[in-house]
Amino acid sequence: MNDQKKLGIIGRNISYSFSKKYFEDKFQRLMLNNYSYDVFDLKDISEVEEIFKSPHLIGLNVTIPYKEKILPYLDELSDEAAEIGAVNCILIKDNIKKGFNTDVFGFEKTLLIHRKKFHDSALILGNGGAAKAVQYVLKKYNIPFQTVSRNTELNFENITKEIVAENPLIIQCTPVGTFPNVEDRLDFPFEGMTEKHLIIDLIYNPNYTSFIKKASEKGAKTANGYYMLEQQAEKNWEIWNFQKK
């Protein structure tokens, strides 16, 4: 088997990438000696053009801060990637670069495992590529939501504990609190949280962010981003290896 297949991830400051270890373990488990996975740490998205010239490249993961900036460099988009305007998975086949959003798949799986009927309205913290995938899933399930970010009408300055109390589902989509800055935490009215709340923090490193710990103290049910990450990784694998044109 000398049919080389090359995969990788593009992002910025991503030496901690989950994906490299995840896929290298997978290659080992499946005894796939012809697969490799590289980390491409790009200072600017334009550098991706050089990456695309790599021989044997069949696909890429895309992470912060390039999920939206990658779009002009692609030939095609899947339906959900086009609607969301963010891509985290690229399939390269017959010289065509097609973007997908498997964050949708991963988040949907996570939500369905943890959600109860009374989690019927949501706050989405952050407004980047991951938040857009979350919005897509909440729309699919007719769960009304409000976005809280620095530049939205509802923001971290004016959000109140009453608004938090009224929205039992909260999805934390900002990178605040990610390793190595594990002590960082959004300025947030945690006193509005109760044991009826479900808090999903999309961060997976550390396992328990400062945000999740604070929410737990209020009795809220919490979940981190690890399961979502595994699920989207498996979906990426399926796209790279079994996607029909």
DSSP letter string, the chain: ----EEEEEEESS-TT-HHHHHHHHHHHHTT-TTEEEEEEE-SSGGGHHHHHTSTTEEEEEE-TT-TTTTGGG-SEE-HHHHHHT--SEEEEETTEEEEE--HHHHHHHHHHHH--TT--SEEEE--SHHHHHHHHHHHHTT--EEEE-TTSSS-TTT--HHHHHH--EEEE-S-TT-TT-TT------GGG--TT-EEEE---SSSS-HHHHHHHHTT-EEE-SHHHHHHHHHHHHHHHHH---
Domains and CATH numbers, the chain: 5-101 (3.40.50.10860), 104-227 (3.40.50.720)
Q: pLDDT tens-digit profile of 132-189?
A: 999 999 999 999 999 999 999 999 999 999 999 999 999 999 999 998 899 999 999 9
Catalytic residues: 67
The residue among 14 and 202 whose pLDDT is bigger is 202
| Model pLDDT, residue 66 | 94
Q: pLDDT tens-digit profile of 211-228?
A: 999 999 999 999 999 999
